[in-house]
Amino acid sequence: MKIVLEHLTKKFPNRNKKIKEYVIAVNDFDYEIPDGKLVGLLGPSGCGKSTVLNLISGLEKPTQGKIYFGDDDVTELPAENRGVGLVFQNYALYPHLNVRENIRFPLENLRGKDKLTRDEMDRKVFETAKLVQIEGLLDRKPSEMSGGQQQRVAIARALVKKPKVLLLDEPLSNLDARLRLQTREELKRIQVETGITTIFVTHDQEEAMSICDTIVVMQDGRIMQQGNPQDVYDKPDNLFVAKFLGTPQINVFKGVVRAGSVFIGTDRVYRMEEDLGDRDVYVGIRPEGFIPDDSWNGRSEASDDKERLICEFRKLEVMGRDSSVLCANEFFEGTMIRAIVASGTGIKTPGGEVAFTIKPNKIHIFDAKTGKVLH
Ligand code: ADP
Ligand code: MG
């Protein structure tokens, strides 16, 4: 089932009573979640991700805007009638109930025509436990299981009523690194197998990029960009998104555009086909976008007008297949530039400097004032 969020806004009174202004947790959020897809809601802590989920589930009422499930307006529908499955970071299982009873719990209070017999409940519990691969643990108590297993129980409990929508709020954050990787693959499998429209909230960009069909990047309650993860990575609309996606982070420099060329300091690093007009810009270069230039023998020798970026060489970190060339440049916005090259690449450092040419699809130019992408 598709979900349409129409100009959703949620304002909260400030938790600090002395501050009179409202907190705008979600700000004119306009988005359609396609049927049967896994959508990642991504952004830094406090950007409004949980509030968006709570609005969809009905735990919160929007200040403005509408929510549709399919063609039905559910904006005023109470949470319990929305057919939504929820999973939170802290599994929230009942400690005194075993796994079977925990998963069965949502089925127990079905009434009227939906009421189930004990046998029907047992069958549904078993089917769902099997889906998340914990059918062998039905008699255990939560305290007798690992974090990953407990989270599977929580997922089973959310799925047992066959919800129309599954909402996951940072479900992997309490797991250790290895389990987190494994469980995220599991989540993807379960989502594909059930075909349930799923919204997965995380602050971890790698997690979202690896399993989601679509990602929505948020800042301050607003959508900064949405789309297929690879497209958003390759074509960020703004500096915020460019910086938020990718580890190691994109390298950002202060630069200028003059007559169609991009300069960092006096180095012409890139020539463009189009004329953006002369202006101040931020130049973002992905770590994988640097090619060490072995034709370069130091500033005194360079007489060609090839595009290059010259940096002070600091350190080479070899990490198996790849190496990081760490270097500095006075126009760089962070502490250390990180260029990732294949291990074994020859790095020349005449006069303590290193020169790079930049891969055209790995350089992004942003307006210095608005942060909007120009190229
Ligand atoms: P996220 O899940 O992305 O970390 P949240 O949706 O929890 O962000 O919060 C968004 C903003 O709204 C934050 O500034 C948060 O402090 C504020 N907020 C969330 N819930 C409430 C509430 N019940 N009362 C007051 N402020 C809230
Ligand atoms: Mg949250």
Give the per-residue SS3 of 163-182: CCEEEEECCCCCCCHHHHHH
What distance in Å separates the CA atoms of residue 367 and residue 256, rounded to the nearest whole number? 10
Please work out whether the CB of residue 16 comes within 6 Å of at least one atom of ligand 1: no
Q: How many domains does the chain have?
A: 2
Q: What is the pLDDT at residue 295? A: 87
Choice from 8, 10, 11, 12 to test ligand 1 binding pocket (greatest atom count within 8 A of CB):
12
Q: List the residue whose alpha carbon is closest to atom 23 of ligand 1.
A: 12
Residue 36: strand, helix, or coil: coil
Q: Which two tokens stand for residue 207?
A: 């997690």
Question: Which are the contacts of 89, defined by CB distance < 8 A and separation ≥ 6?
Answer: 169, 170, 171, 173, 174
Q: What's the CATH code of the domain at 27?
A: 3.40.50.300
- State how beta strands 38-42 and 197-202 pair: parallel
> In which residue ranges of the chain is pLDDT below 70?
302-303
Query: In this structure, are 152 and 284 located in the same domain?
Result: no
Residue with tokens 């992408």: 373
Query: In this structure, are 188 and 276 located in the same domain?
Result: no
Query: In this structure, are 185 and 287 located in the same domain?
Result: no
Query: In this structure, are 353 and 294 located in the same domain?
Result: yes
Query: In this structure, are 256 and 361 located in the same domain?
Result: yes
Nearest ligand for residue 14 CA = 1
Q: What is the pLDDT of residues 292-322, one digit of tens each?
A: 998 888 877 766 788 999 999 999 999 999 9
Query: In this structure, are 157 and 293 located in the same domain?
Result: no
Q: What is the pLDDT of residues 7-30, one digit of tens each?
A: 999 999 999 989 999 999 999 999
Chosen domain end from 208, 238, 268: 238
Chosen domain end from 209, 238, 267: 238
Q: Is 54 part of a structural domain of the chain?
A: yes
Chosen domain end from 238, 270, 305: 238
Q: Is 281 part of a structural domain of the chain?
A: yes
Q: Is 373 part of a structural domain of the chain?
A: no
Q: Is 40 part of a structural domain of the chain?
A: yes
User: What is the pTM assigned to this prediction?
Assistant: 0.93
Query: In this structure, are 119 and 51 located in the same domain?
Result: yes
Q: Which two tokens stand for residue 212?
A: 């989601």
Q: What is the pLDDT at residue 303? A: 67
Choice from 50, 52, 53, 63 to test ligand 1 binding pocket (greatest atom count within 8 A of CB):
50
Query: In this structure, are 59 and 190 located in the same domain?
Result: yes
Q: Is 243 part of a structural domain of the chain?
A: no
What distance in Å separates the CA atoms of residue 147 and residue 165, rounded to the nearest whole number? 24
Q: Is 244 part of a structural domain of the chain?
A: no
Query: In this structure, are 212 and 256 located in the same domain?
Result: no
Q: Give the residue numbers spanning the domain of 158.
A: 3-238
Whole-number Cα distances in Å, 33 to 38, 154, 171, 332: 9, 23, 19, 38
Q: What is the pLDDT at residue 301? A: 72
Query: In this structure, are 191 and 266 located in the same domain?
Result: no
At 7, phi and psi to the nearest 5? 45, 50
Classify the C-alpha dihedral 73-75-78-84 as positive or negative.
positive
Distance from the alpha carbon of residue 48 to the mean position of ligand 2, in angstroms: 7
Please work out whether the CB of residue 245 comes within 6 Å of at least one atom of ligand 1: no
Q: Is 375 part of a structural domain of the chain?
A: no
Q: Is 245 part of a structural domain of the chain?
A: no
Query: In this structure, are 267 and 183 located in the same domain?
Result: no
What length does the chain have? 375
Query: In this structure, are 184 and 205 located in the same domain?
Result: yes
